[in-house]
Amino acid sequence: MKVLELKNIYKDYKLENKEKFTALEDINISFDKGELVSIVGESGSGKSTLMNLIGGLDSDYTGELKISGSDLKNFKQKELDDYRKKKIGFVFQSFNLIPHLSVLDNVTIGLTLSNVKESIKTKKATELLEKLGLKDQIKKKPTQLSGGQKQRVAIARALINDPDIILADEPTGALDSTTTEQILEILKEIADDGKLVIMVTHSEKVAKISSRVVEISDGKIISDSLNPDYKKIEKEKHLALDNVEDKKAKEGHLSLFSAFKLSLHNMWASKIKNFLMALGVSISLISMILMLSFGAGLTSYISDQAASFSDPKIATITKAGGGSITNPKTFTEEEIDKIADDINIYLDNKGNDFKVVTKAEDEYDYNLKYGFNTLAGIGDASAVKITYTPESTGEEGEEIKPITSGVFYVYTTPPSYTEKNLITKNGHLCGRGEIMLSSAASKALNIDNLEDIVGKQVEIDIKHQNINLPAPLTVTISSIVDASMFSNMLVMYIDYDYLKEITANNADAPTLAPTTLYILTDDIKTTNLINDFIASRPDLSDSLEDKLVRMFDEMLDTFSTALAVIAGISLVVALIMILVVLYMSVSERTREIGVLKSIGARKRDIKQIFSTESFLVGVLSGITGIIFTLIIGGILTIVFNSILGFSPLCMKWYYFLEAILISVIISVLAGLYPSAKAARLDPVESLRHE
Ligand code: ADP
Ligand code: MG
């Protein structure tokens, strides 16, 4: 039985407008083992077309193409892949080595596609390369080799699976005459080893050394002659491998591990491009993680702050509407009495027997207390001033300058404040003749060590529309308070009754009326009921702090939404970017894909190589993103801590996990189309690709 038989082979190329071009016409020929066949003919006569048919790269023909008796037309896809992988070895004019793989890896690629063990692969390839005189070139990259060396590597690659047929399309076309002779020598040895070698050539000289010359013209065989002078060299097998034992391993396919290795090699070959892409993708990941961290940090900061000044057993009431923070509305005595009555009726209806008692009703056992809170400085920086005169150190020539600072916020000490809210070891909550300051206000008076100012005297001068002191008043600082969300603002705390007392001395100013009412309940249920009552009354509202919290929450929502939109858009941009880069990578590597297919790579293998690459791009981008986020987050934390005294950035470990996941998901999604495209590429066209 002949190794290869072609009967009535016709091949048409479909052109545009449904026209056809007949490239092969009625080809009838057969070949035997051990033949070294030269196919000659003018350019365009159909030689490569014939080689592609024999090589199983092109199945679009009519006629019979029999390999050891079985018709290629009856082969299933898997059998066809196996045929290319094990029965055929391709050698090309332009070598078609894979540039990013070493000589060794180029040779073993055919075995890698069969999942042969690493040690066996290396052993076989090294043996072959040694026989081909490439012992010292094993670790080099193809670009570091001469033409003849490259072609010998390509021959080693073709031989690695011990195929029956070697197809060489103008193998010496790109080589000089000395190298040509070496390559021909090798091909002759291969044939003499008992394989069928079919090579396409233009050269008379090349044709002369072969055992048989077939001439093609316009797709037809016009002559077929044996060379009577051809002599086989009957040596023991030269190039055939001795250790062809592991037939079992040959049944395997490209493993995930090998796909990873191939992808890594390729990514490393274009590392700058890949790094830049990862950097681009990581920007969206950075913005995503920072957005989440800010959201979490600010939310927890605000709720911490809210918790520090609220007491679940105190209900706080202010006037709604115009009762803004800058100009709060005050309550009259009548209004307060009415509200107390209304609450009592409300509670009674709800079956709660708590009673709101005003000071007017019971001077000793009242539970409704007054407060006055306003943003003092807004619109008039001189509204509330504190002046501190440092003590003399006794040094000669010392100039003592009083330090004056405006205050932002005047705050009567709410009943929820206790000694716990004081941050200095010495001191107490302020009473008559005393005030307390926030730490920021103390610092504004040039006091670095907060303990130092406790017990010191300062002058306060208030010229506010609701509070108006006739003259600056000397008071003592009783302590430093740092428990409210205003701790970073300039705040002066004062006792309500004392504030009322000092403003009463001024005949021109209105008598102080409360802006805030505190009801001290005996349980949280009652507080909640009173809060329900406040919510049901359009003219009333809860505390200024709650208003501030709500305002911050709204700002935070807007801020988070804006950041989420930005992060979302940048993720889409990242996805498109990966898609473009991978798509371009497929175009760049078209030839490589053709080579892999000619070696026997299945569609699935090609797809796997490319999707593994997109997966790795995702992991790489994720890691880059995390590294940069940690750096940027670290810097931001330091900056925030030094400016605000706290950092609103709260990074959770699972944000990083989410970022890696998202990065991998978008990369894999982006890789779907390019890898499908790579898998679908036609091997013949890919190999013709320039
Ligand atoms: P050779 O290798 O002998 O130079 P080919 O086998 O490459 O010739 O091509 C044979 C003929 O088929 C040429 O005329 C070429 O233009 C034509 N041909 C090759 N590939 C295609 C194709 N994909 N579509 C149309 N015509 C093609
Ligand atoms: Mg050709």
Axis-axis angle for helices 603-644, 590-599 (nearest 10): 140
Give the pLDDT of residue 509. 64
pLDDT at 543: 75
What's the pLDDT score for residue 290? 87
**pLDDT of residue 447 exceeding 90:** no
Tell me which residues have their CB closer than 6 angstroms to ligand 1.
Answer: 13, 21, 23, 41, 43-49
Cα distance between residue 199 and residue 428, in whole Å: 102
Instruction: Read off the pLDDT band of 2 (50, 70, 90).
Output: confident
Tell me the CA–centroid distance for residue 84 and ligand 2, in Å: 19
Instruction: Indicate if the pLDDT at residue 238 is higher than 80.
Output: no
End-to-end CA distance of the chain: 39
Helix (H) or strand (E) holding 676: helix 653-680
Q: What are 455-506's pLDDT values in tens digits?
A: 999 999 888 777 778 788 999 999 998 755 566 778 899 999 999 888 876 6
Percent of the chain's residues with pLDDT above 70:
92
The whole-number pLDDT of residue 405 equals 85
Question: The pTM is what?
Answer: 0.70
Write out pLDDT tens, residues 121-155.
899 999 889 988 898 999 999 999 998 899 999 99
- Residue 401 pLDDT > 70: yes
Confidence band of 685 (pLDDT split at 50, 70, 90): confident
Query: What six digits make up the tokens of 50?
Result: 């014939």
**Could you report the per-residue pLDDT of 553-566, keeping only the tens digit for each?**
788 788 878 878 88
Q: Which residue minimizes the CA distance to atom 24 of ligand 1?
A: 13
User: Over the stretch 419-441, which tens digit does the pLDDT of each residue have?
Assistant: 888 888 888 999 999 999 988 88
Q: What Rg do the C-alpha atoms of the chain give, in angstroms?
A: 44
Question: What is the Cα–Cα distance from 358 to 363, expressed in whole angstroms?
Answer: 8
Q: Ligand 1 centroid vs 685 CA: distance in angstroms?
A: 11
For range 361-379, the mean pLDDT: 81
Whole-number average pLDDT of the chain: 86
What pLDDT was estimated at residue 155?
A: 92
Alpha carbon 684 to chain centroid, angstroms: 37
Q: How far is the CA of 219 from the centre of ligand 1 (A)?
A: 10
Q: Which of 10, 13, 17 is the pocket-test mutation for ligand 1 (most atoms within 8 Å of CB)?
A: 13
- Superfamily of 4-252 according to CATH: P-loop containing nucleotide triphosphate hydrolases (3.40.50.300)
Structure tokens at 626: 């995390």
Distance CA 183, CA 633 (A): 61
Q: Which long-range contacts (CB under 8 A, 24 or more apart) does 685-690 make?
A: 685/594, 686/590, 686/591, 686/593, 686/594, 686/597, 687/57, 687/92, 687/96, 687/591, 687/594, 687/595, 687/598, 689/590, 689/591, 689/594
pLDDT tens for residues 47-69?
A: 999 999 999 999 899 999 999 88
More confident: 394 or 4: 4
More confident residue, 399 or 602: 602
Most confident region among 305-319, 377-391, 437-451, 592-606 by mean pLDDT: 592-606
Ligand 1 atom 21: residue of nearest CA: 13
Domain ranges of the chain: 4-252, 269-303+552-688, 310-391+400-542
State the ligand closest to the CA atom of 41: 1
3-state class of 217 per DSSP? strand
Residue 325: what pLDDT? 57
Helix (H) or strand (E) holding 477: strand 473-481
pLDDT at position 486 is: 60
Give the largest Cα separation in the chain, rounded: 135
* Residue 657 φ/ψ, nearest 5 degrees: -65, -45
pLDDT number for residue 27:
94
pLDDT computed for residue 309 by the predictor = 64
Q: Which residues contact 356 (CB under 8 A, 6 or more apart)?
A: 340, 343, 344, 347, 367, 368, 519
CA-nearest of 101, 104, 99 to 118 is 104
Ligand nearest to C-alpha 215: 1
